[in-house]
């Protein structure tokens, strides 16, 4: 089960819900028992899905929330819930030929979103992050230009990279409203800002850049007009192996190490992108 920053910042730090809570909403495993009347699944099937309470040795799911894991894909790479989420991001983003796409925040969700948004017909692509190792990974995953705001003024750098055009679409994935502020500054007039982040802490931000009238989209599951269709699309993308999970899942923990998993996500060491808990390891 994947360690999601929503649970880290929300539940683990006590901002959402009250303990005790059974967490984990990015699960994968093997079916050990099938209820009466269930069709399409049988004992021994390797599955992932949208059910919860995944930080456990066993969990129960409605079969409509399950998808079979492709043969050869390890459990730690079969994190279907974020795959479904970034499929929603791709639908919300819908870049056109010749667009400039920028990503603010090169963490797991940002780079996973990029994997289904990138296209050879983009004008250019720009990744912004303050971690050099993540910018290196972004470059390896196909970004043409990378910018570290601690080393160069980001708005000026985006302007130079686009010959003053700025970004047609900006994906915001920092988890901070300061990231949204930066996204608003580098998007072109009437461009699109797609929010991948969940903002759990109030912050004071300067949104005077919204005077450019950007379209701001909150690309969370409630954006889906047809969630079942998005589920089907994400399952097909997983079957085709389009998500670079081998590059993004970097750390593994046992169930007994779940505290370490959350602490590592809160204060990630160099090279950390995504952690998973393997309950039966």
Q: For residue range 38-93, what is the model confidence (pLDDT) as tens digits?
A: 999 999 999 999 999 999 999 999 999 999 999 999 999 999 999 999 999 999 99
Instruction: State how far the Cα of 224 lies from the Cα of 229, in Å rounded to an integer.
Output: 9
Give the predicted TM-score (pTM) of the model.
0.94
Give residue 4's pLDDT. 93
Q: CA angle, 59 as apex, 57 and 64 as ends, to 5°?
A: 145
Per the DSSP assignment, residues forming a β-bridge with 84 are none
**Which of 109, 174, 132 has its CA nearest to residue 270?**
132
CATH numbers and ranges of domains, the chain: 5-81+226-278 (3.90.180.10), 83-223 (3.40.50.720)
Instruction: Give yes or no for a contact between 112 and 82, defined as CB atoms under 8 angstroms apart.
Output: yes
Which residues of the chain fall short of a pLDDT of 70? 15
């Amino acid at each position: 089960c994947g360690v999601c920053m929503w649970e880290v910042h929300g539940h683990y730090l006590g901002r959402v819900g009250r303990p005790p809570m059974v967490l984990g909403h990015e699960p994968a495993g093997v079916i050990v028992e099938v209820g009466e009347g269930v069709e399409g699944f049988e004992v021994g099937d390797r599955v992932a899905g949208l059910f919860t309470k995944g930080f456990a040795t066993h969990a129960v799911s409605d079969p409509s929330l399950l998808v079979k894991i492709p043969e050869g894909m390890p459990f730690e790479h079969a994190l279907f819930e974020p795959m479904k989420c970034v499929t929603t991001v791709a639908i919300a983003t819908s870049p056109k030929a010749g667009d400039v796409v920028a990503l603010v925040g090169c963490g797991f969700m940002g780079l996973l979103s990029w994997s289904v948004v990138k296209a050879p017909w983009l004008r250019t692509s720009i990744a912004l992050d303050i971690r050099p190792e993540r910018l290196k990974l972004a470059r390896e995953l196909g970004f043409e230009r990378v910018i570290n705001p601690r080393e160069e003024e980001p708005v000026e750098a985006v302007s130079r990279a686009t010959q003053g055009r700025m970004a047609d679409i900006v994906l915001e994935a920092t988890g901070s409203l300061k990231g949204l502020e930066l996204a608003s500054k580098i998007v072109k007039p009437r461009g699109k800002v797609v929010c991948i982040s969940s903002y759990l802490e109030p912050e004071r931000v300067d949104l005077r850049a919204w005077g450019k009238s950007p379209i701001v989209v909150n690309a969370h599951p409630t954006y889906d007009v047809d969630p079942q269709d998005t589920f089907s699309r994400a399952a097909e993308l997983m079957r085709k192996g389009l998500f670079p999970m081998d590059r993004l899942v970097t750390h593994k923990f046992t169930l007994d190490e779940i505290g370490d998993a959350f602490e590592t996500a809160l204060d990630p060491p160099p090279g950390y992108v995504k952690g998973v808990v393997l309950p039966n390891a």
